[in-house]
Amino acid sequence: MSSRLVRLAAIGTAAGVFSGLFGVGGGTLIVPLLVLWFSYGEREATGTSLAAIVVIAALAAVAHGIYGNVQLAEAFVIGVPAVAGVLVGTAVQQRISERVVAGTFALVLVASAIVLVA
């Protein structure tokens, strides 16, 4: 097994631990690890992170669905406007520099850390 595969497995595992513990998708770990460990560009890291999150969240959603915890109507009320938002967000991201993406991500991480500790 190549070291690259081992490192990808480590990112997947870390993201899984995070989502298993705190119930979120793990994107706050995947993007920095792809940038700092794999030398991805910021845009490429965010795009690849979203692809990984599709798989992570779908697996977890099926597990929760089996237990009957998923409310589909509510998911669509919040999810459909979010789809409109992500179209805007990805389009805007192509027009700003990767430095701004990195800086925005750093701010979100600080906010998330504060919420976690508070």
Partner 1 sequence: MEAWEIAGAAAVGLAAGVTSGLIGVGGGVLFVPGLVIFMGLSQLGAEATSLVAVVLVALVGAWRQHGYGNVRLRDGILIGALSPLGAAAGTVLANTVSERALELSFAAVQLYFAWRLAGRALFPPAPQSASLPGGGDPRGRDHGP
Which parts of 31-90 interact with partner 1 (CB under 8 A)?
A: 31-32, 34-61, 64-65, 67, 69-72, 74-90
As measured in angstroms, the least distance from the Cβ of 111 to partner 1 is 9
Residues 87-106 that bind partner 1 (CB under 8 A): 87-94, 98-106
As measured in angstroms, the least distance from the Cβ of 10 to partner 1 is 9
* Interface with partner 1, residue 26, by CB under 8 A: yes
40 Cβ partners below 8 Å, 6+ apart? 34, 48
* Interface with partner 1, residue 29, by CB under 8 A: yes
Q: How many residues of this chain interact with partner 1, rule: CB under 8 A?
A: 102
Compute the Cα dihedral for 95, 97, 103, 106 and give only its sign.
Answer: positive
* Interface with partner 1, residue 4, by CB under 8 A: yes
Q: Of 79, 80, 54, 75, whose CA–CA distance to 65 is shortest?
A: 75
How distant, in Å, are the alpha carbons of 11, 16, 72, 103, 116 from that of 52? 10, 11, 22, 22, 23
As measured in angstroms, the least distance from the Cβ of 65 to partner 1 is 7
Compute the Cα dihedral for 5, 43, 17, 117 and give only its sign.
Answer: positive
As measured in angstroms, the least distance from the Cβ of 90 to partner 1 is 4
